[in-house]
């Protein structure tokens, strides 16, 4: 029998064991707490449905693009289009250039109908200018810009493909609407589309511009646009037109190559007639095309030469919608 | 009167004048003769018709290409195709790789039916090998090679366009026949076309090879081909197949990009059934496709990796045959 000695270790060990165990438990709890803090937080907008897909990785600047959409007097179309475009793969953010001067943006409504796949920024303008969309917006975080008119619907498939094409031709305007200029014996240029005579380089047609109202291009060109001669801004403001022609001049001058790469759209639609504002786009004005020919000649003056170059490359997506698009008799 | 003195100058001057005049005449004749020698010579093959078109400028190495066509047991098709291909714009020369061992080439007949727009060289082979066409022929003067199978007819329009595309993508195989490989969970690769499952990079299909039996590529790749591991030649010789797959591996390794660029042909035809030799191509052999899958896996072994990359870019000629090929609802 061991009295004092035996009891003492027991009691000491007992106390120490107790303390030790307590400390261990407390440490474990702290560690558990720390781990919990590192877990992804449950968002405020938790859905009752627990089969919600995990939040996608934040898109890197190289693998995603920013949609810039200027809008005037067609908010109904704008909202319809935003519902479509907000879900395009690889989209990083949407910048809406609000040309409805003095009118409230639909930001409140937009927020109340969240959540949204991407953030939308409404840039309120002070003057209704066509070239407002060509500002070098500080909100831009991606290399690529997708510029769309507020009445144009391009399918997600087309956009995903065209974005991948842009990534292979990042110094070009990669888009869905090709146009051309032709020169005439008098030296005066004319602007148009397929209805104009082919420029005569072999057979088939050529294009020398890709319109920016449905196209991808590098954000660097927005920076460049800020450095153009005043006369260019004056021309665009005077006509409320031709900003896209000016951009093609800029890009062609910069690269020394054709400014654009045309991607043939599978599904592109103009929703103009669906607007209930009754407002139809600028291109319906009687003088629209004449203005654009006028712009081509003015820009040649301003830039002291014709930098636009022709291309006849038309790009489509191999095997989409199905292999019939490349089937042949062999 | 002046006797001696007067006569002397007269006689002296007379002689001198005579000599001088003779010298002048002789010099003029020599100059005329030299000028005549510099004039273009009338060729032996002068035509009775004096409205013959002027001989075109010699095509520069950058603006023209050399057709290399290997042939075996289909001389009737060969000659039919030569009549077509000899007139293709930008063609510099034709090299016929004669795999009919021991048989006389049709060179005599060819010459008797001249003149021809371009020179043709018949390269007589000693062994009937598939890879004979991949020699680095000293006859090659152009940067670009157009390689065609001896049963394939591609329209001049298609060739002119594809050549212009190659000039924009000179490090790629630019051609009309896309194929792909797919990888399977077991790590074994399979070779095929649209019938194979899509590789799964988004929607639509992908290709990872462009066959050299109807394609443009840079002559540098023929030089490179001479530097490949022996096992590659052994594989091609063993299968009498797969030289084109090997070339795609070579190009992909070299560029780190997809080896080919697919140009959708408007008019491509296989004339196989038109031959009166009764010889049908190698691809009719039962084991043809299995061989090609076999080759893909062997080449991955030889090159210690899979260098082929996927692309879904399909290029067509804008506005050819007419604008309907890019018309849209907008």
Asked whether the beta carbons of residue B318 and residue A270 sit closer than 8 angstroms, the reply is no
Is B244 considered catalytic here?
A: yes
Residue B132 has pLDDT above 60, yes or no: yes
By mean pLDDT, which of A174-178, B28-32, B95-99 is the weakest? Answer: B28-32
Would you say residue B40 has pLDDT above 60? no
Q: What is the mean pLDDT of chain A?
A: 89
Q: Give residue B231's pLDDT.
A: 98
Mean pLDDT across B138-144:
97
Q: Are B118 and B91 in contact (CB under 8 A)?
A: yes
For A314, the closest of B152, B312, B326 (CB atoms) is B326
Mean pLDDT of A302-325: 93
Cβ atoms A213, A149 nearer than 8 A: yes
List strand residue ranges (DSSP E) for chain A, in order: 65-71, 91-98, 120-124, 144-148, 152-154, 173-175, 178-183, 189-192, 209-210, 214-218, 260-263, 268-270, 313-317
- Nearest Cα residue in chain A from B166: A313
What pLDDT sits at residue B51? Answer: 42
Q: Are A198 and B319 in contact (CB under 8 A)?
A: yes
Residue B68 has pLDDT above 80, yes or no: yes
**Residue B46: predicted pLDDT:** 43
Find the CB nearest A314 among B157, B265, B317: B317
The residue-averaged pLDDT of B292-305 equals: 97
How near does any CA of chain A get to the CA of B330, in Å? Answer: 6
Over range A65-74, report the average pLDDT: 97
What whole-number distance in Å separates Cα of residue A171 and Cα of residue A208? 15
Distance between CA atoms of B134 and B127, rounded to whole angstroms?
Answer: 14
A192 CB-contact burial (10 Å; exposed 0-12 / middle 13-18 / buried 19+): middle
Evaluate if residue A282 carries a pLDDT over 90: no
Token readout for A190 is: 């004319």
Q: Which residue of A has its CA nearest to B272?
A: A330
pLDDT at B105 (0 to 100): 97
* Weakest-pLDDT range from A32-41, A81-90, A239-248, A277-286: A32-41
Residue B267 has pLDDT above 90, yes or no: yes
Give the nearest partner residue to A318 out of B207, B269, B328, using CB atoms.
Answer: B207
Q: Can you tell me the mean pLDDT for A289-307?
A: 97
Q: pLDDT at residue B198 above 70? A: yes
User: Are B312 and A164 in contact (CB < 8 Å)?
Assistant: yes
For chain B, the residue count is: 330
pLDDT above 90: residue A205: yes
Residue A123 or A275, more confident: A123
Q: What is the pLDDT of residue B97?
A: 98
- Exposure on the CB side of residue B145, measured as CA atoms within 13 A: 27
User: For the residues of A15-66, what is the DSSP string, one character each?
Assistant: HHHHHHHHHHHHHHHHHHHHHHHHSPPPPTT--S-TTPPPPPPPPPTTT-EE
pLDDT digits (tens, 9 = 90+) for B51-61: 444 444 456 77
DSSP code, position A230:
H
Question: Between the CA of residue A128 and those of A49, A132, A221, A240, what are the distances in Å?
Answer: 44, 8, 22, 9
pLDDT of B232-245, one tens digit each? 999 999 999 999 99
* Percent of the residues in chain A that have a pLDDT greater than 70, as a whole number: 88
Q: How confident is the model at residue B48 (pLDDT cuts 50, 70, 90)?
A: very low
Domains detected in chain B: 65-315 (3.90.550.10)
Written as six digits, the tokens of B134 are 């991949």
Q: With contact defined as beta carbons under 8 Å apart, do A225 and A134 qualify?
A: yes
One DSSP character per residue, A200-227 reads -SSSS--B-EE-TTEEEEETHHHHHHTT
Which of B194, B266, B326 is the best residue to mutate to test the A interface, defined by the most A CB atoms within 10 Å of its own CB? Answer: B326
**Active-site choice (B244, B267, B274, B304):** B244
Nearest of A319, A169, A167 to residue B207 by alpha carbon: A319
Lowest average pLDDT, out of A218-222, B35-39, B41-45, B68-72, goes to: B41-45
CA pair distance B83, A192, nearest whole angstrom: 40
Whether residue A3 is predicted with pLDDT greater than 60 in this model: the reply is: no
Q: State ipTM.
A: 0.80
| Mean local confidence (pLDDT), B71-83 | 95
Largest Cα separation within chain A, whole Å, is: 125
pLDDT at B2: 53
pLDDT score recorded for residue A46: 43
Helix-then-strand count for chain B, H and E: 8, 13
Report how far residue B130's alpha carbon sits from residue B236's, in angstroms, rounded to the nearest whole number. Answer: 7
Residue A189 β-bridge partners: A183
Q: Could B315 and A320 be called an inter-chain contact, meaning their C-beta atoms sit closer than 8 Å?
A: no
Residue A122 has pLDDT above 80, yes or no: yes
Over residues B108-119, the mean pLDDT reads 96
Lowest mean pLDDT: which of A170-184, A270-284, B215-229?
A270-284
**For range B128-141, the mean pLDDT:** 97
Chain B CB contacts of A63 below 8 Å: none
R_g of chain B, CA atoms, integer Å: 29
What residues of B are in contact with residue A164 (Cβ under 8 Å)? 202, 312
Report the DSSP beta bridge partners of residue A263: A315
Separation CA A76–CA A183 (nearest Å): 41
- Which band of pLDDT confidence, cut at 50, 70 and 90, is reported for residue A21? confident
Query: Which residues of chain B make contact with A156, given a CB cutoff of 8 A?
Result: none
In tens, the pLDDT along A28-57 reads: 888 877 777 666 554 444 444 444 444 444
**Mean pLDDT over all residues of chain B?**
89
Which positions in chain A touch B316 (Cβ < 8 Å)?
264, 314-316
User: How far B204 CA lies from chain A's nearest CA (Å)?
Assistant: 4
Residues in chain A: 330
Reported confidence tier of residue A198, pLDDT bands at 50, 70, 90: confident
User: Residue A101's CB: how many other CB atoms inside 10 A?
Assistant: 12
Give the Cβ contact number of residue B121 at 10 Å: 18
Model pTM?
0.81
- Whether cis (ω within 30° of 0) applies to the bond prior to B147 is no
Contacts of B215 in chain A (CB under 8 A): none
Task: Chain B: give the shortest CA distance to residue A194, in Å.
Answer: 6
Contact B328 A265 (CB under 8 A): yes
SS3 content of chain A, % helix, strand, coil (to 5): 40, 20, 45
Q: Is A101 helix (H, G, I), strand (E, B) or coil?
A: coil
Annotated catalytic sites of A, by residue? 244
Q: Please state, in angstroms and rounded to a whole number, the distance separating the CA atoms of residues A225 and A137.
A: 12
Q: What pLDDT, on a 0 to 100 scale, did the predictor assign at position A321?
A: 83
């Amino acid at each position: 029998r061991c009295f004092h000695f035996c009891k003492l270790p027991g009691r000491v060990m007992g106390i120490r064991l107790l303390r030790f165990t307590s400390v261990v438990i407390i440490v474990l709890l702290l560690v558990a707490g720390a781990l919990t803090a590192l877990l992804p937080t449950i968002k405020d907008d938790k859905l009752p449905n627990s089969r919600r897909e995990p939040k996608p990785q934040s898109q890197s600047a190289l693998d995603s693009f920013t949609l810039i959409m200027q809008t005037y007097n067609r908010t109904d179309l704008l909202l319809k289009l935003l519902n479509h475009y907000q879900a395009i793969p690889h989209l990083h953010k949407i910048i809406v250039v609000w040309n409805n001067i003095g009118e409230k943006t639909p930001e409140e409504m937009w927020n109340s109908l969240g959540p949204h796949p991407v953030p939308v920024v409404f840039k309120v303008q002070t003057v209704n200018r066509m070239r407002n969309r060509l500002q070098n917006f500080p909100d831009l975080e991606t290399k690529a810009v997708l510029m769309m008119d507020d009445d144009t619907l391009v399918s997600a498939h087309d956009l995903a493909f065209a974005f991948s094409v842009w990534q292979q031709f990042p110094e070009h305007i990669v888009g869905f609407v090709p146009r051309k200029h032709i020169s005439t014996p008098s030296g005066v240029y004319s602007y148009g589309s397929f209805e104009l005579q082919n420029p005569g380089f072999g057979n088939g047609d050529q294009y020398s511009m890709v319109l920016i109202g449905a196209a991808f291009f590098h954000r660097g060109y927005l920076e460049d646009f800020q450095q153009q001669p005043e006369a260019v801004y004056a021309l665009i403001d005077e006509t409320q037109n031709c900003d896209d022609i000016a951009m093609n001049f800029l890009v062609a001058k910069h690269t020394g190559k054709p400014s654009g790469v045309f991607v043939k759209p599978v599904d592109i639609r103009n929703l103009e007639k669906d607007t209930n504002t009754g407002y139809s786009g600028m291109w319906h004005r009687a003088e629209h095309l004449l203005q654009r020919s006028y712009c081509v000649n003015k820009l040649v003056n301003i830039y002291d030469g014709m930098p636009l170059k022709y291309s006849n490359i038309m790009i489509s997506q191999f095997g989409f919608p199905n292999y019939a698009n490349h089937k042949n008799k062999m």
